[in-house]
Amino acid sequence: MSTSRTILITGVSSGIGRSLAVEFARCGDRIVGIARDRRLLKALEREIRSEGGDGIMLPCDVRQERQVMNAIKRGTSVLGPCDILVNNAGVTAFGNFLATSVRSFDEILDTNLKGAMIVTRAVLPSMVKHKKGTIINIVSYAAKTVYQGSSAYSAAKAGLAGMMNVIREEVRSSGVKVINVYPGAVLTPMWSPKQRALFQDTMIPSGDFARMLYELSLQPASMTVEELVVRPPIGDLRV
């Protein structure tokens, strides 16, 4: 059994983030969850507490620095300093590059890349000060390969990986770990209903992915996993 930790997870209202919050809470950790959908946040908080878990879910847009600072301050004042940050919040829009508007491009980069930067800046000083902590980034296999129709998303995720690789080197001597996880197709609402219906039997269930990530968070102080690729056995979906 691990000692109870405070876990900050972004994008907890659905998909991977929600599964992570439930899994970590079931295993005894305290959850500070942030996302934009108040209704879904309330439902998640009720579920965690009904199962005996400890968590506080806070409405927050990761693109807004003041909202992020206020949410983290409120959450950690109740549950304690952040031991593990999971940068999970993400959005995408599928479409050919020439059909991608500047507005859509900005929204995807602001959430997936800028949002992770803002949240990380909010918690990293405390981790460095205490010489411990882990930052887990849900990147995407799209940062390692080419998927047509995902130019903005691939750019954002590749940027996230590059930024976190630099941060890892900058804080390596402080004892803070930075882990980039590159999932392939995980069964979440990010996929269209049609795609989920066609490929649900070959996608990774979000609960299985969450369990794997929990196990990853337990790595001993004597080692660190810096990168992890997690894909369905079939590899790429034949979309």
pTM of the model: 0.94
How much is the pLDDT for 1?
Answer: 43
Work out the percent of the chain whose per-residue pLDDT is above 90: 87
Mean predicted lDDT score pLDDT of the chain: 94
176-186 residue pLDDT tens = 999 999 999 99
Catalytic residue among 141, 147, 153, 214: 153
DSSP code string of 129-193: HHT--EEEEE--GGGTS--TT-HHHHHHHHHHHHHHHHHHHHHGGGT-EEEEEEE--EESTTS-H
Give dist(CA 3, CA 17) in Å, integer.
22
Mean of the pLDDT values across residues 37-53? 96
How much is the pLDDT for 239?
Answer: 61
* Residue 201, pLDDT above cutoff 70: yes
pLDDT interval class at 15 (50, 70, 90) = very high
How much is the pLDDT for 198?
Answer: 82
Say whether 153 is catalytic: yes
Mean of the pLDDT values across residues 62-90? 97
Domains and CATH numbers, the chain: 6-225 (3.40.50.720)
